[in-house]
Amino acid sequence: MTKNFKYLNNINFPSDIKKLSHKELKILINEVREEMIDAVSETGGHLGAGLGVVELTVVLHYIFNTPNDKLIWDVGHQSYPHKILTGRKDKIRTLRKGKGLSGFTKRSESEYDPFGAAHSSTSISSALGIAVANKLSNKSDNVVAVIGDGAISAGMAYEAMNNAGSSKTKIIVILNDNDMSIAKPVGAMRAYLAKILSGKIYFSLRETLKLIISAFSKRFSKKAGKAEDFLRSVVTGGTLFNSMGFYYVGPIDGHDVDALISVLKNAKEINYDGPIMIHIKTEKGKGYKFAENSDDKYHGVTKFNVNTGIQEKSKSNIPSYTKVFAETLVKHAEKDSKIIGITAAMPSGTGMDIFGKKFPSRTFDVGIAEQHAVTFAAGLATEGYKPFAAIYSTFLQRAYDQVVHDVAIQSLPVRFAIDRAGLVGADGPTHAGSFDITYLSTLPNFVVMAASDESELVKMVNTSIDINDKPSAFRYPRGNGIGLKLPTINEKLEIGKGRIIKEGKKVALLNFGARLNECLIARENLLKKGISITIVDARFTKPLDENLIWQIAIDHEVLISIEEGSIGGFGSHVAQFLTDKNLLDNNLKYRSMILPDRFIDHDKPELMYKYAGLDSSNIENKILDTLNSKVIIKKTN
């Protein structure tokens, strides 16, 4: 901590907050907000979401007895104030750095993080699970879930609410409605919440307290019926939540400390066997004018100047892979009216904002609903359209059943643009694209590609346009390309054909994905030691270029495959082919380099790949070790 705050310097754990008066709490809130802004200006990270819940965070820890009472933050990118107040303020400037604090909640980091998160819409389900466990263990601890208006639109949240409403188990769900997730929330839920706020039911403090106290001061019985009915009738927007079995309260001002204290205190103390929904209205980016005035409310920021709000710009003029994909798709869509762009609440992250500006009527942001996005794309494909579902690798995992049943089995030509393939740096293991090669390449009727550079990405987008009889996917990493001149949209790949980059005699490196440059570096270093190396860019894991792999297998002593994915992916398919063709019986030494069987913590990407064993030095060592290894076959009688 860099400043001498009046109260925050003495707050080490939530128990210290309880010593403060209401007036002192408000000063503490300002100090937490200031400290958070200052810290994130040095580290980068998620800013706007946390600024919007500072009052809520302080009051939650003031009212509830954490960590015995469980506090669950959906997604977790709004948890920085929570971290500051729960024994981690001295480490807050290590956010998202190697060996530092996670940018999300993490069970192994603190007992105040009862459930780890980084993907959305899990809080109500996990809260209900914890609450039921408490009931079975005869514990009376409270369980509180905080979920945003974007996250509550996802299907899992509805499933959880449906279960919670009939469970006769008390949980407190706080709906943090800031009219802003990463992008503007979309869909019927957004319209529904807007209707609540437009119906003259945004209570003043006095009205709120009167209604809440009148409803909560009595047990839920016939005697309390009039007060309850009155509250529910005035808060007409609560009808949906009421019908799902929740006792709905709100909306109330999430920046009004006195109102929050009164409502949360009553919610904590009420003896009610069922879920309670408290709907609060907050402002994302609250308290920092540059965030408040920004379109994205400074959701995710690089390092910035606190006084000017100016963020550090990338020093590279090379476009990102995301931008290359989006601009290539735009060029095709200018000529082909059947091309459709789909994203699941990540328009800027996937480049669909670029596509959407050009073709708004052909761009669909379906919200945090990857399952729906995939089947929606499948429906479009049945009618002859060419849907491109641009989804992060880690988020596509949530729609795997739909990929299998609704796309692959029916062999529908949905194109999957898989962003953030491989390790992603500061967002850590929850956002790493580690498994898509494996989970897509196991499926019949799929074409699976990986771009080794931005030029190859353009060719893969071009190629996917013409794949009209089956699904296809192309994966590409986070960050900028390597600075190559981009091909035209007419340059396409032959399906299932790789390319030889460099020719050698002794060792063959079979690359799939963006480790190609590391392979080239390793080759140059080993050439100085007299080791001749062939480098192949496989391009496809499905279908494999069997002729090319056969040829390099019989022409080289060592064959090593390299990919930014887990076991079961490209290397496994290569090994299966080599085994089926008896190529491993001809003194060929085959090794596969994959992501290790562990989750790799957040750090700089180049360091993460070093830890994963997929940088140039590890490639060199693998080659040398394999060349020096001896295969000993023990004969048995």
Q: Is the pLDDT of residue 214 over 50?
A: no
The tokens for 146 are 């905080």
Q: Decide which of 231 and 537 is more confident.
A: 537
Q: What is the mean pLDDT of the chain?
A: 89
Residue 228 pLDDT: 45
Q: Is the pLDDT of residue 219 over 60?
A: no
Residue 45 and residue 117 in one domain: yes
591 among known catalytic residues? no
Q: Determine the average pLDDT of the residues in 46-62.
A: 94
Sign of the four-CA dihedral 361, 150, 103, 33: positive
Residue 243 pLDDT: 81
Measured CA to CA, the distance from residue 551 to residue 28 in angstroms comes to 69
Phi and psi angles of residue 593, each rounded to the nearest 5 degrees, phi first: -110, 120
Q: Determine the average pLDDT of the residues in 230-236.
A: 43
Least confident among 199-208, 236-245, 320-329: 199-208
Residue closest to 565 by CA, chosen among 453, 424, 423, 387: 423
Torsion (CA) 119, 300, 196, 81 in degrees, nearest 10:
80
Q: Is residue 565 one of the residues assigned to a domain? A: yes
Percent of the chain with pLDDT over 90: 73
Say if residues 535 and 523 touch (Cβ distance below 8 Å): yes
Q: How many helices (H) and strands (E) does the chain have?
A: 26, 19
Q: Read off the pLDDT band of 119 (50, 70, 90).
A: confident
Q: Is the pLDDT of residue 463 over 50?
A: yes
Residue 459 and residue 516 in one domain: no
Q: Determine the average pLDDT of the residues in 347-353.
A: 94
The tokens for 558 are 């060592």
Measured CA to CA, the distance from residue 202 to residue 378 in angstroms comes to 41
Residue 164 and residue 264 in one domain: yes
Residue 179 pLDDT: 72
Q: Is the pLDDT of residue 633 over 90?
A: no
Q: Read off the pLDDT band of 2 (50, 70, 90).
A: low
Per-residue pLDDT of 564-578, as tens digits, reads 999 999 999 999 999
CATH number reported for the structural domain that contains residue 617 in this entry:
3.40.50.920
Strand 415-419, strand 472-475: pairing: parallel
Measured CA to CA, the distance from residue 3 to residue 10 in angstroms comes to 12
Per-residue pLDDT of 96-110, as tens digits, reads 999 999 999 999 999
Q: Is residue 301 one of the residues assigned to a domain? A: no
Q: Is the pLDDT of residue 189 over 80?
A: no
Phi and psi angles of residue 212, each rounded to the nearest 5 degrees, phi first: -65, -45
Measured CA to CA, the distance from residue 175 to residue 163 in angstroms comes to 17
Question: Considering 70, 83, 284, 622, which one is annotated as catalytic?
Answer: 284
Residue 600 pLDDT: 94
Per-residue pLDDT of 534-548, as tens digits, reads 999 999 999 999 999
Per-residue pLDDT of 267-301, as tens digits, reads 998 888 899 999 999 999 899 988 888 877 888 88
Q: Read off the pLDDT band of 199 (50, 70, 90).
A: very low
Q: Is residue 509 one of the residues assigned to a domain? A: yes
Question: Considering 31, 55, 283, 370, which one is annotated as catalytic?
Answer: 370
Least confident among 53-62, 242-251, 550-559: 242-251
In the chain the first and final C-alpha atoms are separated, in Å, by: 71
Residue 231 pLDDT: 43
Residue 194 pLDDT: 53
Q: Is 9 helix (H, G, I), strand (E, B) or coil?
A: helix
CATH number reported for the structural domain that contains residue 153 in this entry:
3.40.50.970
Residue 425 and residue 511 in one domain: no
- Domain count for the chain: 3
398 among known catalytic residues? yes
The tokens for 223 are 């005697």
Residue 120 and residue 216 in one domain: yes
Give this prediction's pTM: 0.87
Q: Is the pLDDT of residue 176 over 50?
A: yes
228 burial via Cβ count (<10 Å: 0-12, 13-18, 19+):
middle
Q: Is the pLDDT of residue 616 over 90?
A: yes
Residue 278 and residue 336 in one domain: no
Residue 287 and residue 344 in one domain: no
Residue 216 and residue 121 in one domain: yes
Q: Is residue 140 one of the residues assigned to a domain? A: yes
Q: Read off the pLDDT band of 234 (50, 70, 90).
A: very low
Q: Is residue 303 one of the residues assigned to a domain? A: no
Q: Is residue 484 one of the residues assigned to a domain? A: no
Q: Read off the pLDDT band of 240 (50, 70, 90).
A: confident
Q: Could you list the residue range(s) of the whole structural domain that residue 209 is in?
A: 8-295
The Cβ-side half-sphere exposure at 548, using a 13 Å CA radius, reads 23
Given 277, 295, 313, the domain boundary residue is 295
Q: Read off the pLDDT band of 498 (50, 70, 90).
A: very high
Residue closest to 479 by CA, chosen among 304, 608, 294: 608
Torsion (CA) 370, 372, 376, 379 in degrees, nearest 10:
120
Residue 250 and residue 325 in one domain: no
Q: Which residues of 116-132 are buried (b: 16+ CB within 10 A; e: fewer)?
A: bbbbbbbbbbbbbbbbb
Say if residues 278 and 249 touch (Cβ distance below 8 Å): yes
Measured CA to CA, the distance from residue 316 to residue 310 in angstroms comes to 17
Residue 416 and residue 518 in one domain: no
Specify which residues 364 forms β-bridges with.
342
370 among known catalytic residues? yes
Q: Is the pLDDT of residue 114 over 60?
A: yes
Q: Is residue 188 one of the residues assigned to a domain? A: yes
Measured CA to CA, the distance from residue 601 to residue 625 in angstroms comes to 27
Residue 135 and residue 102 in one domain: yes
Q: At which residue do the structure tokens 């079979």 appear?
A: 510
Residue 471 and residue 503 in one domain: no
Question: Considering 70, 281, 398, 475, which one is annotated as catalytic?
Answer: 398
> Who's near 11: CB < 8 A, 6+ residues apart?
17, 28, 85, 89
Residue 525 pLDDT: 95
Q: Is residue 155 one of the residues assigned to a domain? A: yes
Residue 206 pLDDT: 44
